[in-house]
């Protein structure tokens, strides 16, 4: 009976050691469900997005007007910039600054103008290369976000991942 107990204790210690090594990154058993896709951060990445625009009409308290649009967007990894053509566009002439975090591409540009009865302090958009999701919003006074565009993007044929 004592030999069986010692055997189970050794097995438990072995399993715990393997789990600790997996969690610390010493070994990789493929147990992580995270997507370990590597993305190219070179050249120009261009997409076409099927998007929904929610445009406020008469101030922020009113329901927005919803329209569907196709819009192009892109980033230039070498220049560290990005652009899209749409509502309050961060255009190819006035590009925003690019931040890369794995699959997530975030482009921002400071702004200072009034619209919808509030002060607009910045323009932003993100492209998630993992699922193709596009979001565009405005930073407004009071540290709030006004989401204007959301959609799904497909990579153009000449873009890297």
CATH for 63:
2.40.160
In a domain, 16, yes or no: yes
| Residue 161, domain member (yes or no) | no
Q: Residues 31-56: pLDDT tens digits? A: 555 556 788 899 999 999 999 999 88
144 inside domain: yes
Query: DSSP states of 7-76 as a string?
Result: HHHHHHHHHHHHHHHHHHTS---S---S-------SSEEEEEEEEEEEE-SSSTTSPPEEEEEEEEEEEE
4/20: higher pLDDT:
4
According to DSSP, the residues that pair with 130 across neighbouring strands are: none
Residues 7 and 73 occupy one common structural domain: no
Confidence of residue 85 (pLDDT cuts 50, 70, 90): confident
The pLDDT value recorded for residue 35 is 53
At residue 78, the 3 state secondary structure works out as coil
Choice among 22-26, 70-74, 92-96, 141-145 with the minimum mean pLDDT: 22-26
List Cβ neighbours of 155 (8 Å cut-off, separation of 6 or more).
45, 46, 47, 132, 161
Residue carrying structure tokens 């919003």: 137
Query: Residue 113: which domain range?
Result: 44-155
What is the rounded CA–CA span in Å between residue 155 and residue 72? Answer: 10
69 and 106 in a single domain? The answer is yes
The percentage of residues in the chain with a pLDDT greater than 70, rounded to a whole number, is 89
| The predicted structure's pLDDT at residue 159 | 47
* 6 lies in the same domain as 25: yes
Span 59-78, mean pLDDT? 88
Task: Please check whether residue 39 lies inside any domain of the structure.
Answer: no
Residues 11 and 75 in one domain: no
Structure-block tokens of residue 40: 């190219």
Total domains in the chain come to 2
| Angle in degrees, CA 60, 147, 94, rounded to 5 | 110
Query: 1 and 50: one domain?
Result: no
51 and 124 in a single domain? The answer is yes
CB count in 10 Å sphere of residue 125: 26
How far apart are the C-alpha atoms of 86 and 89, rounded to whole Å?
A: 5
Q: pLDDT of 100-109, one tens digit each? A: 999 999 999 9
């Amino acid at each position: 009976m004592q030999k069986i107990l010692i055997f189970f204790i050794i097995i438990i210690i072995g399993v715990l050691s393997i789990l600790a090594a997996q969690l610390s990154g010493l070994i990789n058993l493929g147990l992580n469900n995270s997507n370990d896709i590597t993305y190219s951060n070179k050249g120009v990445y261009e997409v076409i997005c099927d998007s929904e625009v929610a445009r406020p009409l008469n101030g922020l308290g009113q329901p927005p007007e919803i329209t569907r649009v196709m819009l192009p967007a892109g980033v230039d990894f070498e220049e560290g910039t990005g652009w899209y053509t749409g509502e309050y566009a961060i255009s190819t002439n006035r590009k925003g600054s690019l931040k890369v975090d794995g699959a997530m591409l975030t482009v921002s540009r400071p702004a200072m103008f009034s619209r919808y009865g509030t002060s607009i302090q910045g323009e932003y958009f993100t492209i998630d290369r993992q699922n193709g999701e596009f979001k565009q919003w405005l930073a407004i006074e009071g540290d709030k976000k006004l989401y204007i565009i959301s959609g799904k993007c497909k990579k153009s044929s000449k873009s890297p991942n």
